[in-house]
Chains A and B, each alone.
Chain A
Amino acid sequence: MARFVLRRLLQSAVVLLGVTLVVFLLLQLVPGDPVRVALGTRFDQETYDALRERSGLDRPLLAQYLSYVGHALTGDLGVSFRSGQPVTTIVLERLPATLSLAVTAVLLALLVAVPLGIVSAVRSGSLVDHAARVFSQFGVSVPDFWMGIMAILLFAGVLGWLPPSGYVALTEDPARWASHVILPAAAVGLVTASILTRFIRSSVLEVLAEDYVRTAEAKGLRGRVVVLRHVLRNALIPVVTVVAVQVASLIGGVIVIEVLFAWPGIGRLTYDAVQARDYPVLQGAVLFVASLFLLVNLLVDILYARLDPRITLR
């Protein structure tokens, strides 16, 4: 187990190195001069050259890259062109907002999808099943930002129950955090819930047809015990992967929702960094998201082995 984790961490380091290279090269292809963007419209050549030199942008590409990787290894991801703050600090500041949104959204999604998926499979063909399928079809087809806009209109506009946007840290005021997180989390979570409901439904249906489920029924166990003890655990093994992919993509990818709800997370940070050609921040954010992705994947593999005794980690 320890050896498995160690080996996976080493592999992750190689992947991350590749990520830095790709991001670095891609940014070279983006049109626009970050120094010009940072200085605005009025500046003289002297200031321009000074900032270029200070940022190291006058040096050859390879030198720039090597020095970036070298510093990254010590946790230094450079400084923002715009604010001059260390990128590591900026990204870490944004992390709680993104994590709390992602975790809330996934929990909401699981809360809806697990029971709905199970009932839909066990009572397949019933009214609940049809309703669940309509719901998941709806959730998959409707984009989350539209859902977000509608939610703002209804709950913040018409009903006035919830604030339309903004963020309060969980540690600062949990109640106000909750009132702010619920709309964006629901908007994102609904899409995730739809995907998961479908997946859980088909996974449970598949397991229900297994011989060992008939064995469990032949033993005279209650329906609830058969489903919860015999079906669910087997059915959830493949679902874990989908949940993990969702979590990972939520951490890195709820850009539109974060912008829509003025949620100061990593997605919003990435968006602003692109707008401002703030390359160090953009690189830092991408690297960070990639690291979280790899971490989540590692956790999934460990969880797999916990759920399925046939899998041993080597």
Chain B
Amino acid sequence: MTREVLAIEELTVTLGTRRGAARAVAGVDWSVAAGQTFALVGESGSGKSMSVLAATGLAPRTARVTGRVRLLGEELTAVSPQRRRRLRGRHVGFVFQDPMTSLNPVLTVGRQVAEGCEEHLGMTRRQARDRAVELLDLVGIPSPAQRVDAYPHQFSGGMRQRAVIAMALACEPDLLIADEPTTALDVTTQAQIVELVADLQRRLGTAVVWITHDLGVVAGVADTVAVMYGGRIVEQGPVDAVFAAPGHPYTRALLAARPDPAHAGGDLPAIDGSPPNPLDLPAGCAFWPRCPVRGDARCADELPPLTEVAPGHRVRTFYPAREAR
């Protein structure tokens, strides 16, 4: 068993909103080990990003977070916000969705890459700048010695995301959290960024949590995957097992909704209805109102437990599909 980097247990996040408490994450467990990639999949609002932000102390101020989070064996829920801050950046790097807005427009790219090294590694400004040049080179930015002094608006979208990745890796963290890092990029750039992260992970041995709604990316990079719906994990397991034999009706619907080049031109199968309102979640299975195989009132009233259908492969439904897709 490889070294556990991040483990989350029974994590619950409740957001105080004007219209009442919204339960964004409702009891989530998962972990990721060194060198492994864990993918969190789900639609917008399923709680995938929120669970990770809350675990690392980046949740909005209105959020109430309960549960246990262990980073490198240290219980994060028990430590001070200052300690959590020092762990962020030093041991956990973040890459966010939109590189157009996640860089500060008035600071040079180099400065933004370097400041983490100054903060956590005690480097001088000059040392940190040299390190920034190395990092920009590492993520494949051409002529890094010149580009280090450029401002974000002088970079293309793909280059900016490379710079953000350089920033996230500045202190050689044990964990990289990639929160939909390819969503805002064009398709060819997406592939490059995915490849870059995978390559850096191989070279640096970083654990990666990849938050995405792109199942193609999951199939390509992840070792394990958790599918989230309505703030809960509905299916979790090794990527191969989940893709080969998805047990939850939602996972099956998601996989079916992927564009298939073999059937180009036809309509894509869609999931009827819309995701549940986090202010008013059903008592039972959150997917029940949209579920194609729902059987009885039990689904509406009773929450199905996460049940193991194969070694390491767990599904939260009363009606797991038994046959392969």
- In the complex formed, the residue of B with least CB distance to A124 is B61
Asked if A234 is an interface residue, CB under 8 A from chain B, the answer is: yes
- With a cutoff of 8 Å between Cβ atoms, the chain B residues found around residue A33 in the complex are none
Question: Are the C-beta atoms of A215 and B164 separated by less than 8 Å?
Answer: yes
Question: Are the C-beta atoms of A220 and B120 separated by less than 8 Å?
Answer: yes
- With a cutoff of 8 Å between Cβ atoms, the chain A residues found around residue B90 in the complex are 220
Question: Are the C-beta atoms of B89 and A309 separated by less than 8 Å?
Answer: no
- With a cutoff of 8 Å between Cβ atoms, the chain A residues found around residue B151 in the complex are 309-310
- With a cutoff of 8 Å between Cβ atoms, the chain B residues found around residue A73 in the complex are none
From known contacts A210-B101, A221-B115, A225-B119, infer whether A215 and B88 are also in contact, taking CB-CB under 8 Å: no
Q: Return the CB mask of A221-236 against B: 1 if under 8 Å, else 0.
A: 1100100011001100
Asked if B98 is an interface residue, CB under 8 A from chain A, the answer is: yes
- In the complex formed, the residue of B with least CB distance to A213 is B104
Question: Are the C-beta atoms of A214 and B102 separated by less than 8 Å?
Answer: yes
* A220 and B106 alpha carbons, distance in the complex (Å): 19
From known contacts A210-B101, A212-B101, infer whether A219 and B107 are also in contact, taking CB-CB under 8 Å: no
- In the complex formed, the residue of B with least CB distance to A125 is B61
- State the main secondary structure of chain A at its contact with B: helix
Asked if B153 is an interface residue, CB under 8 A from chain A, the answer is: yes
User: Which residues in chain B, 148-177, are within 8 Å of chain A measured between CB atoms?
Assistant: 151, 153, 164, 167-168, 170
Question: Are the C-beta atoms of B88 and A217 separated by less than 8 Å?
Answer: yes
- With a cutoff of 8 Å between Cβ atoms, the chain B residues found around residue A237 in the complex are 106
Cβ-defined partner of A219 (8 Å) among B101, B105, B116, B153: B116
From known contacts A212-B101, A310-B151, A310-B153, infer whether A218 and B89 are also in contact, taking CB-CB under 8 Å: yes
Give the interface size bracket for A toward B: 20 to 34
- With a cutoff of 8 Å between Cβ atoms, the chain A residues found around residue B86 in the complex are 220
Total inter-chain residue pairs, C-beta < 8 Å: 79
Q: Return the CB mask of A194-216 against B: 1 if under 8 Å, else 0.
A: 00000000000000001110111
Asked if A308 is an interface residue, CB under 8 A from chain B, the answer is: yes
Q: Return the CB mask of B286-312 against A: 1 if under 8 Å, else 0.
A: 000000000000000000000000000
Asked if A307 is an interface residue, CB under 8 A from chain B, the answer is: yes
- With a cutoff of 8 Å between Cβ atoms, the chain B residues found around residue A216 in the complex are 104
From known contacts A211-B96, A225-B119, A310-B153, infer whether A219 and B102 are also in contact, taking CB-CB under 8 Å: no
- In the complex formed, the residue of A with least CB distance to B151 is A309
Question: Are the C-beta atoms of B85 and A222 separated by less than 8 Å?
Answer: yes
- With a cutoff of 8 Å between Cβ atoms, the chain B residues found around residue A221 in the complex are 85, 89, 115-116, 119
- With a cutoff of 8 Å between Cβ atoms, the chain B residues found around residue A219 in the complex are 88-89, 94, 115-116, 119, 167, 170
- With a cutoff of 8 Å between Cβ atoms, the chain A residues found around residue B138 in the complex are none
Asked if B15 is an interface residue, CB under 8 A from chain A, the answer is: no
* A58 and B102 alpha carbons, distance in the complex (Å): 69
- In the complex formed, the residue of B with least CB distance to A223 is B85
User: Which residues in chain A, 147-194, are within 8 Å of chain B measured between CB atoms?
Assistant: none
Q: Return the CB mask of A218-261 against B: 1 if under 8 Å, else 0.
A: 11111001000110011001000000000000000000000000
From known contacts A217-B88, A220-B85, infer whether A212 and B94 are also in contact, taking CB-CB under 8 Å: no
- With a cutoff of 8 Å between Cβ atoms, the chain A residues found around residue B116 in the complex are 219-221
Asked if B58 is an interface residue, CB under 8 A from chain A, the answer is: yes
Rounded to whole Å, the gap between the CB of A122 and the closest CB of chain B is 11
Question: Are the C-beta atoms of B104 and A309 separated by less than 8 Å?
Answer: no
Enumerate chain B interface residues (CB-CB to A < 8 A): 56, 58, 85-90, 93-94, 96, 98, 101-107, 112, 115-116, 119-120, 151, 153, 164, 167-168, 170
Can you give 5 A-B contacts (C-beta < 8 A)? A212-B103, A212-B104, A218-B94, A219-B115, A221-B116
